[in-house]
Structure 1
Amino acid sequence: IGRGPAGVVSCRHLVEAGHEPVVFESGSELGGIWAPEPTNKVVYSGLVTNLPTVCMQSFDFDFASGLPSYVRASDLGRYVVDYAEHFRLRHLVRFGASVTHVDALRSEERDQEGADGEATWRVRWKHHPESAGKGLRTPEHSEDVFDAVVVASGHYDTPYEPEVPGQAAWLAAAEAPGQRTVMHAQRYDRPEQFAGRVVLVVGGRSSAGDIARELR
């Protein structure tokens, strides 16, 4: 479940071990949060990796030559796409398929499903034809059974946004609608959107440092 770096690498090694994996991806391109725009809605435009390419690349597939050690998000996204193309994995991906439920099957359910061997998982997903490909028409909901499930969906879809004491009153005290805003770093893209405004960055990890530097 997921076609970012972890999902793509898992798929490659499952194939090499003789399995026939299916990859579910809700978007329209490989790469996870690093996927090229407009698929990617998470990574801000100015992001540069905080690890060098030699630490991120596969032992048997290098980044394209000529890139700096610390690359832009788009370069990392291109690497994931190139990796999948190199190992011929794209045909295994069901684009536009968002997994909604994964359920363990009881023994009697396995018999009813006609599942072979140790198939013990029912996966339900919702189709998004606009992400699956131009002109593609598929049922809105589907399900299938699998022997095993690899969860590689990442942990950036749902941001943590705590309610800070006094925040609601501060927003309500604005002189005009939209004059005061609170937003998670996930929705940040470019510094121009804050031109002429006073900004407080809460946090001290990688995203906070990057965004504060861009806003100077």
Structure 2
Amino acid sequence: MDAKKKRVAIVGAGPSGLAACKHALAKGFRPVVFESDTAVGGVWNRTLASTRLQTPASAYRFSDFPWLPASADDEGLSFPRHDQVSEYMTAYTRRFGVLERVRSGCRVLGASYVRATEQEVAAWERWSGNGEAFGDGTGEWHLTVRHGDGESEGGTTQV
């Protein structure tokens, strides 16, 4: 597979976007995470100061990255505050090289699939769940991304 076809766009640097980026990197892809906020962590950065995790920290963690310190209960992390969850996500991104793949302040405004024939689009509805990507790989997605807080669009980023 050529390098251009190994480019992957991920929308959002919340827990799922971060994990997707980490696994894409491990598979040799070149992911870019578009995050509209200025930090990773998703909603954990945009919530009330009193918000805490509703499940124990031990149940809300990446399988390959434990909460630090290991004795979370000793540090008052049984049900971490939103800022502690955000810090945990940031530590995860640093540990696995995800942080440098995140483009902060980039809001995805739209996505369109280019070069899809009507037959190809019709086949998507019959996708059998066999792990194969939609289409034959000849098309590509074009994302429209606004960079920063400006009113104007920053152009089209092809992925």
Cα deviations by residue, 1:162-205 (Å, 9 ceiling, x for unpaired): xxxxxxxxxxxxxxxxxxxxxxxxxxxxxxxxxxxxxxxxxxxx
Aligned mate of 1:53, from 51, 57, 71:
57
**In structure 1, what is the Cα distance between the partners aligned to 2:101 and 2:34?**
9
Cross-structure match for 1:141: 154
Cross-structure match for 2:21: 11
Cα deviations by residue, 1:13-37 (Å, 9 ceiling, x for unpaired): 01101110111111111111112xx
Moved over 4 A (4+): none
**In structure 1, what is the Cα distance between the partners aligned to 2:88 and 2:105?**
21
Cross-structure match for 2:122: none
Bigger share in strand: 2
Cross-structure match for 2:94: 85
8 Å CA contact 1:48–1:70 kept in 2: the answer is yes
8 Å CA contact 1:122–1:144 kept in 2: the answer is yes
After TM superposition, the score normalised by the length of structure 1 is 0.53
Change (3 A) 1:48 1:55: same
**In structure 2, what is the Cα distance between the partners aligned to 1:46 and 1:107?**
48
Give the share of equivalent positions with the same residue, in percent: 27
CA RMSD of superposed structures (Å) = 1.9
How does 1:53-202 map onto structure 2 within 5 Å? 53-65=57-69, 66-107=75-116, 118-128=138-148, 140-146=153-159
**In structure 1, what is the Cα distance between the partners aligned to 2:68 and 2:90?**
12
Superposition deviation, residue 59 in structure 1:
1.6
Gaps of 5+ in 1: 109-116, 131-138, 147-216
Q: Which amino acid aligns with 1:126?
A: R
**SS of residue matched to 1:77:** helix
After TM superposition, the score normalised by the length of structure 2 is 0.71
Which of the pair has more CA radius of gyration? 1
